[in-house]
Structures are given as C-alpha cells and as structure tokens.
C-alpha cells in the first residue's frame, strides 16, 4: 500500500478562542496532539467541540490564540493550504459523481496525473472495503457505504490529520458499531492522526487514545478512556461519562481517598474525588448499572419506583427520592410503579464530590 499519513510531530492548540458576537463559544483551549494519536472531542451540544474542529480545519477563523503544526503556525492558512482530510456528519458527497470520482476529487484538484489518481483511488476504495461499488452513484449506496466513501475521500490525499465531525450520527445502531471498528482499523492501518467529534461517550471510549471533555467552550478534562471512565475529575464530567445518578447530601466522614455521605437517614460510602471535608455539602455520582435494589432495612437510597423497562437480561428501573431526585438502576425483577425500594451500590463504584454542583 502506498497511501500513508503525512508525517509531522505534533499539532498544538495554544489558548484557542472563538467568539460569536458576545458569545464565547471557545475559551482559551490549549491542547497538544502527537502524531498517530486518536483524539475524541467529547461533550454535549454547544460545548465547543465542533467549533474546535472547524477552527483546526480552517472553516472558521479564530478570535484568539493560534494553531501550530510542528514549528509552522497554520491558523492564518486557508483550509486547502492546511491539507487536512475532513469527514462530515452528512457525508457531503457529490451526488452526480461516481464513487471513484468522489474519492479522487481532491487529487484531481491538486493536478495529479490520472494514472496516479486511479491507483490511489483503487487503494483507498480497497482500504474502506468498497470494491465492486466504485462505479455507483452515492444515491445507490447504503448510509454505511456512503460514509466509507467520505472516509476514503479524506484519506486518499494523505493528510497529516483526519478530522471527523459526528460521522456516525446518521447511521442506525448496528451500522454505528460496524463503522466504529472500521474507523479504528483504518486509523491503525494508515498510522494516521485522527481528531473525532462525538457526543456519545461509548463511541469515545471505544475509539480514542485520549478523550478531551469540553463544557461551555472550555476543556474540563483530558485523559485516556480508562482515566475518564474510572476517575472523572469533576461532577459534570462524571455525569457525561455515565454517572447519571447525582445525589446531594452532607459529607459525614472523609479520609484516605474515601468519604461517607449522609442522604436522608442513610450513609453512603464511596471514593472521594479530590479533598472533601466532613460537614460540607457533597454529591454522590453512581452509574445506573452499579445501582441495585437491596432488602428493606439495609443501608441505601430510599425511593419510590416510577417505572421499569425490560432490556432482555434485566430491567432498567426509574425511581424518585422524597426530595425529587431521580434515580436510574438495574433490577433482576420487574417492580411495580409506586413500590418502595432501597437502592445501593458497591462503595468502590461510587464517587464522592465536594462543593456545589
């Protein structure tokens, strides 16, 4: 194979900012990405992840800071001068062009000889497993096949970076799983550097070498999938990484990286994230899959069942505490709406945060 990612050492975002009028969409974002990394920009809608990607691509101008590719500042350059590959959410394929012509469009714009274009297009089509489909128009392909065309078009120009903006959001669940594996396989095969925007924490965990969590235009945490999954630094990061149950209480005891929080008439123990002090306000963060019903009289969170949903092997339950806090949990048996329930989790699976939410 002759298609390879262009070589560089690192991409550096230095206090990158973007304002839209009085709205600060991105605020002093700094990040260094090494060659070969797969970076996921993760966060809810409006957090700044797509803005960051568009600034890197050159589709938006920065209003502060700079972008460096090794020793060269690139934020003043036009998109075509940066030479990055881009995969959009809506594929952005030319509907009147065949798969071959779509893939080779960037090479043709660069004035490459036809024989070389044909050779590299064939290689790119083979890499994304589109052999036998290359004379078809995009409208004759499935959504997954169209996404493969978009990926092939991005990588055939041998870019130093491949930028992907929610590329799987228009696919059904089965195709998303298949394309996730394909994207990582292609990344590894090329030795590429990929920056991938998503709001799906499972997608980020399965694909990325490092995850960058953004909120309100600022970086909240950067780390490996394992770091983010097990050790979110902030309560909002924990919520976004699947700790959907957030329960307010008062810290009863703290020490040696552990803490107990009083909620109602129960004390719930967990792992303290950062220093917390007894007597201060605190929050429990618990994943739904770690929270289960226990026998009446055992310590736990007391609530009333709202509903349960059968999910195959078990039931997903929804309950509400007396103060209005909603809880999600797993149960082996169906529970009736209105039924009183006590919910508990292994202390090693509970996180404790101090301060206001």
Nearest to 98 by CA among 152, 157, 57, 56: 152
Q: What is the CATH classification number for the domain harbouring 302?
A: 2.40.50.140
pLDDT at 357 over 60: no
The neighbour count for residue 17, using CB atoms within 10 Å, is 18
* 175 and 113 share one domain: yes
CA 279 to CA 181: how far, in whole Å?
A: 48
Q: Would you say residue 2 lies in a domain?
A: no
Domain boundary among 235, 262, 279: 235
pTM reported for the whole predicted model: 0.89
Segments forming the whole domain that contains residue 342 = 243-354
Domain count, the chain: 2
Domain boundary among 178, 207, 235: 235
Over residues 278-288, the mean pLDDT reads: 94
Is residue 62 left, alpha or beta, with left meaning phi > 0 and alpha meaning psi from -120 to 50?
Answer: beta
Domain boundary among 216, 235, 254: 235
pLDDT at 5 over 80: no
* 133 and 270 share one domain: no
Name the more confident of 221 and 275. 221
Q: Would you say residue 187 lies in a domain?
A: yes
* 76 and 149 share one domain: yes
Q: What is the CATH classification number for the domain harbouring 194?
A: 3.40.50.300
Query: What confidence tens digit (pLDDT) does each residue in 315-339 have?
Result: 999 999 999 999 999 999 999 999 9
Task: Check: CB of residue 38 under 8 Å from CB of residue 209.
Answer: yes
């Amino acid at each position: 194979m002759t298609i390879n990612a262009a070589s560089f050492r690192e991409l550096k975002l230095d206090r990158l900012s973007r304002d839209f009028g009085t709205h600060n969409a991105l605020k002093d974002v700094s990040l260094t990405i090494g060659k070969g990394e797969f970076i996921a920009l993760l966060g809810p809608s409006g957090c700044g992840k797509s803005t960051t990607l568009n600034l890197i691509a050159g589709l938006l101008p920065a209003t502060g800071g700079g972008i460096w590719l090794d020793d060269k500042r690139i934020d003043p350059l036009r998109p075509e001068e940066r030479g990055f590959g881009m995969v959009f959410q809506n594929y952005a394929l030319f509907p009147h062009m065949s798969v071959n012509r779509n893939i080779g469009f960037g090479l043709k714009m660069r004035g490459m000889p036809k024989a070389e274009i044909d050779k590299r297009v064939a290689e790119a089509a083979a890499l994304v497993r589109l052999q036998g489909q290359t004379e078809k128009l995009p409208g004759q392909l499935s959504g997954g096949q169209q996404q493969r065309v978009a990926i092939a078009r991005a990588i055939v120009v041998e870019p130093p970076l491949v930028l992907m903006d929610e590329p799987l959001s228009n696919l059904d669940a089965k195709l998303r799983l298949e394309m996730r594996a394909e994207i990582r396989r292609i990344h590894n095969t090329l030795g590429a550097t990929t920056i991938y925007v998503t709001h799906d924490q499972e997608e980020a965990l399965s694909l990325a070498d490092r995850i960058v969590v953004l909120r309100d235009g600022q970086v909240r945490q950067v780390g490996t999938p394992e770091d983010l999954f097990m050790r979110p630094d902030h309560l909002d990061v924990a919520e976004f990484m699947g700790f959907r149950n957030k329960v307010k209480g008062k810290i009863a005891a703290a020490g040696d990286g552990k803490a107990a929080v009083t909620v109602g008439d129960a004390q719930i123990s967990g792992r303290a994230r950062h220093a917390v002090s007894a007597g201060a306000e605190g929050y429990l963060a618990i994943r739904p899959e770690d929270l289960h019903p226990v026998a009446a009289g055992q310590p736990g969170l007391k609530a009333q069942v709202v509903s349960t949903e059968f999910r195959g092997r078990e039931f997903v339950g929804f309950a509400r505490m007396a103060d209005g806090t909603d809880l999600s949990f797993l149960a082996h048996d169906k529970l009736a709406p209105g039924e009183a329930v006590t919910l508990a989790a292994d202390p090693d699976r509970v996180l404790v945060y101090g301060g206001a939410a």
